[in-house]
Structure 1
Amino acid sequence: MRVLLIDDHPLILSALRTVIEGLGDGVEVQGAGSAAEARALLAGREDFDLVLLDLQLGDASGFDVLDEFRANYPALPVVVISASDRASDVIRAIDQGAMGFVPKRTSNEVLAQALRLVMSGGIYVPPMSLGSESPEPAPLVPPGTPALAPVHVLASEGGYQSIPGLDSLGLTPRQTDVLALLLQGKPNKIIARELGVSVETIKDHVAAVLKALGVSSRTQAVLAVAQMGQRRPSESFSTFR
């Protein structure tokens, strides 16, 4: 597996390289200290399997680079690695096509798990980041309320709903197919073509899927399913591949 690691901080670049190369035999990491260097490396070879992208680059916005790479290399998965773990940054990155968002404070073990998940076709987002923003204070909770209540409140206020598992959603087989393609970022027109039905039918299925997940947008659906996968580690994302 060949990985392109983009970070303009030499020490972080070196540390991440060591961690990623330790994932297993045959892992090759090519580092780039700027967006310009990364562009040159991608233009020079087409055999990268994964891109790890820092949001804070000296010569470009990481979000702009993410847009550029998704447009120019749509089959190449990009995972954002950032010092930020703000919900707004997570949502924006996934909305722009990132296959994962890993805060730099994440442990080596979790980083390895996240990258394996992405390479297997899943999407990784950091737990407990949805619906919460630092450094805003947590909402007040009445005395005697269980400790996990603030998390639930934050998630609810952020427009998300805790989902116990896919099997509890009551999706039809066709809606499950639609969810699988939706998680791949495909628009309704392409989903309709692949499933051999009308676009209007797909719109109805998408609306039903969003309702079942308790969310109001495609991005929130992706994030909700990613969180479900983390809460139920025994379940594989192979259902959606």
Structure 2
Amino acid sequence: MTRQILLVEDDPAVRHLIVQFLTRAGANVHEADSLEQARQILRDRADIDLAILDFWLGKDTAVGLMDDLRNDLKGLPILIISGGNTATDLETTQAIADISGAVAFLQKPFRKNDLLEAVETALS
């Protein structure tokens, strides 16, 4: 069965690269560049197996979406990716992601194999 992955990433170049990695690995990727678009995909699709969320989406964070996912789709694994921002260091970002229920955290830039390994671990 093909895995259904929600990818929420606001950087088009990064999003495109991740989609290529995951598609070549056999996943079906549903792309969103904003929290609103992600929520729309989740309303339309009940078969998402994994959510990969960029922690920083413009000035917003993915924490609210993570809370929604934990409440609405119990057991859905969430993988957080982040390159950080100027206001919050990566250690704090990772701690917030962990507290919010992420099963894994990848710091950008990451290697293809690290992403695929994190996805496989999250889905097993």
Q: Does the pair score TM above 0.5?
A: yes
Measured in 2, the distance between the counterparts of 1:53 and 1:8 equals 10
How much has 1:59 moved relative to structure 2? 6.8
8 Å CA contact 1:7–1:13 kept in 2: the answer is yes
Q: Does 1:16 align with 2:53?
A: no
Measured in 2, the distance between the counterparts of 1:51 and 1:92 equals 16
Tell me the equivalent position of 2:68.
68
How much has 1:98 moved relative to structure 2? 0.8
Between Structure 1 and Structure 2, which shows a larger proportion of strand residues? 2
Measured in 2, the distance between the counterparts of 1:51 and 1:74 equals 12
Greater shift after overlay, 37-46 or 89-98? 89-98
Tell me the equivalent position of 1:88.
92
Measured in 1, the distance between the counterparts of 2:113 and 2:59 equals 30
Q: Which runs of 5+ in 2 are unaligned?
A: none
Alignment partner of 2:60: what SS? coil
Counterpart selection for 2:120 from 113, 116, 130: 116
8 Å CA contact 1:79–1:99 kept in 2: the answer is yes
Per-residue Cα deviation, 1:83-126 (whole angstroms, up to 9, x for no partner): 13722221221111111111121111111111111111xxxxxx
Tell me the equivalent position of 1:38.
38
Alignment partner of 1:97: what SS? coil
8 Å CA contact 2:55–2:93 kept in 1: the answer is no
Pairwise CA RMSD of aligned residues?
1.5
8 Å CA contact 1:34–1:59 kept in 2: the answer is no
Equivalenced residues, count:
118
8 Å CA contact 1:82–1:103 kept in 2: the answer is yes
Measured in 1, the distance between the counterparts of 2:115 and 2:33 equals 20
Measured in 1, the distance between the counterparts of 2:8 and 2:117 equals 20
Q: 1:58 to 1:40 in 2, by over 3 A?
A: same
Q: Percent identity?
A: 28
Q: 1:73 to 1:60 in 2, by over 3 A?
A: farther
How much has 1:60 moved relative to structure 2? 3.3
Alignment partner of 2:71: what SS? helix
Measured in 2, the distance between the counterparts of 1:14 and 1:51 equals 16
How much has 1:64 moved relative to structure 2? 2.2
Measured in 2, the distance between the counterparts of 1:92 and 1:32 equals 22
Alignment partner of 2:51: what SS? strand
Larger Rg: 1
How much has 1:30 moved relative to structure 2? 0.9
Tell me the equivalent position of 1:47.
47
* Counterpart AA for 1:68: D
